[in-house]
Structure 1
Amino acid sequence: MIHDGNSPIENELDLQVRRAAMAWLDQRCTDENPLVHRDELLNDFYFEGTRLPLVDPNRGIRKPRSMVAALSILTTYTPPGRRSPYDDAPAQDGLLRYKYRGDNPQQPDNVALRRAYERKLPLIWFYGIATGIYLPRYPVWLIADEPKHLQFAVALDQAQLFIPHNAVLDSDQRRYVERLTRQRLHQPVFRERVLQAYEKSCAMCRLRHVQLLDAAHIIRDSHTKGIPTVPNGLALCKIHHAAYDKNVLGIRPDHVIEVRADILEEIDGPMLRHGLQEMNGLRLSLPRSRRDWPDTRALEERYEEFRLTA
């Protein structure tokens, strides 16, 4: 049953559930542990003493019976090298799109999303990091319905609410919109996927303090080929991330670390000796799954850059 949302009591209850769900996620997801498991989303949130799943067991759109509109949307994790069944991609206005369920705009889940759009209600977007593990992004808003393309336009940030739908943006405007998307979604998703693949450990020194780990790009993110995918990433502690970015050290295509010759000759304190010089000749610690290993061509290209500066 899809509620028409005309009752003030229903509308107020809907907003209360949204606020409570987001408050629960605020407590559950910390900077150190921002991810949530599917079982938690299905079983651990209660509203006024009643269990209320935040995701649907079988679908990507969740609308509880008690609510007038959809509460959450979900993007399933797709392993590297496989094509996603849904392409939640940006359009000419720089905004992301979320695909309908199926090809019928009147399908109940699509109607539930449309009600969220019409009422400007905030939703939660659960983005797949690994199988059954999600990074919540909230609040997000649907700001346009595009039945011709079977999709909704999504704003990830309040600033994106003011982007005209399907506007042809100039280069500065588009960069601004895309920067917001990177900050709110792509960069956090890239970080969490890389850290999951490397089991929250620096690939060089094995440091396991999550607060001190980064997801480093092999091909730089400013490059057209610097895509935010696990095979173009490395889990590195902040010192080794900085050293890699500045070509203080490099990684050969066979996963062996090289330290620049002038750095090896320097005499300094224990950080230089143990943190950098002793990395020379060591092999990277790689993910368990081979599909998550660094892309060989990316390593070759980046190693050549290091070699020319060494």
Structure 2
Amino acid sequence: MEESLEIREAAIRHCRQLSLRWGDAVPYAELARGFPYKGAWIKLVGPQGVFKPKELTDGPLTLLSTLASSYEDEHLEGDEVLYDYAPRTREHENDGLKRIAASGRKVILLKQVKAKPRPEYMVFAPVAMLGFDDAARKVQLSLIGAQAEAAGIPAPVPAPFSKAYAETVVKARLHQAHFRRQTLAAYQERCCVCELRERPLLDAAHIVPDRLPEGVPTIRNGLAMCPTHHRAYDQAILLVTEDYRVEVRGDRLAHGESDATRRMLLDFHGRALWLPKEEALRPDPELLRKKIELAA
């Protein structure tokens, strides 16, 4: 196999592993380390949007993109997104992307979901380039390959059901990325129950599940939580009352007498929730009440 293709496939495998480890919030520091290839490390990202490591001779490898201000601004059509050309001063990068597309090779899309000083990225790999609009200076990217691979669906031609599944997951990932970014910002990046402040370990939990009409991905239907309290909330072991206090359902615990269960759950019963400073960003009491009704 041609070495450039081997390098490209090694980079895609490494990015898939990062996604499995970090989910949709891969720290930039992990990406900046590069990826291993035959005992050495090759750069994965550069200072600009379109990047080609010096070891590659066939063309660019990665595309950096910021998350739009809102989900509606994402320019998402099914599993396809638009990516802006590099500036005219770097037209050779656009030519390189066209060359890669013509050869049928894939690139990696890194979508920023948290700004500096510690940026995080959602990783899509592999990504196919479907077309180029020189007038609008945009390239059309298909994310279905990344989603199919993540779901274990054989490539390169997914069945119609698989394609629909991949499109749904793309939309869900982008929705969740916006929801998480806004929710964690409102809660100053801490768990509203235990106040853990390790951002990579924090989730944006829905108050009313998104499978219901009321379960929209908005801040007032969200709570910043660590994984333990998120899981307990989803299982209705831990609830939040309308007056923003933690309620732990001891009768739903299998080992309520254990020290670990006491420290991680029962000790928080009755405590006030950590809340956003702005009242407009605090949980909607109606939604908290609906959650308690669903848990009954």
TM-score, normalised to structure 1, is: 0.62
Which residue of structure 2 lines up, in the alignment, with residue 75 of structure 1? 65
Query: Could you tell me which of 145, 152, 175 is aligned with 2:140?
Result: 152
2:70, 2:252 → 1: CA distance? 47
C-alpha deviation, 1:71, in angstroms: 0.3
Shift of the 211–120 alpha-carbon distance from structure 1 to 2, 3 Å rule, reads same
Q: Is contact 1:129-1:135 (8 Å) kept?
A: yes
1:248, 1:286 → 2: CA distance? 20
Q: Confirm whether residue 112 of structure 1 aligns to residue 101 of structure 2.
A: no
Contiguous gaps of at least 5 residues in structure 2: none
Q: Is contact 1:70-1:109 (8 Å) kept?
A: yes
Matches within 5 A, 1:1-310: 12-22=2-12, 25=15, 31=21, 37-38=27-28, 41-42=31-32, 53-57=43-47, 59-64=48-53, 66-76=56-66, 82=69, 87-91=73-77, 94-101=78-85, 107-132=91-116, 133-135=119-121, 137-145=123-131, 147=133, 150-155=138-143, 156-158=146-148, 159=153, 161-162=156-157, 176-181=165-170, 185-186=173-174, 189=177, 202-205=191-194, 215-223=204-212, 226=215, 232-238=222-228, 240-252=229-241, 255-259=244-248, 269-270=256-257, 276-285=265-274, 295-296=281-282, 298-308=283-293
Letter paired with 2:157:
F
Shift of the 203–67 alpha-carbon distance from structure 1 to 2, 3 Å rule, reads farther
Q: Alpha carbon RMSD of aligned pairs, Å?
A: 5.0
1:26-53 C-alpha deviation (Å, 9 max, x unpaired): 7777726986554664565687899854
TM-score, normalised to structure 2, is: 0.65
2:132, 2:217 → 1: CA distance? 27
Letter paired with 1:162:
V
2:100, 2:268 → 1: CA distance? 53
For 2:82, what is the secondary structure of its paired residue?
strand
For 1:162, what is the secondary structure of its paired residue?
coil
Letter paired with 1:90:
L
For 1:145, what is the secondary structure of its paired residue?
strand
Contiguous gaps of at least 5 residues in structure 1: 1-10
Letter paired with 1:63:
K
C-alpha deviation, 1:123, in angstroms: 1.8
For 1:284, what is the secondary structure of its paired residue?
coil
Q: Is contact 2:179-2:218 (8 Å) kept?
A: no
C-alpha deviation, 1:217, in angstroms: 1.8
1:110-161 C-alpha deviation (Å, 9 max, x unpaired): 3333333222212222222322433352522225215276331322234585
Greater shift, 33-42 or 250-259, is seen at 33-42
1:225-284 C-alpha deviation (Å, 9 max, x unpaired): 64557773422333x334423444432466432346xx5799973267665554332123
Q: Is contact 2:76-2:82 (8 Å) kept?
A: no
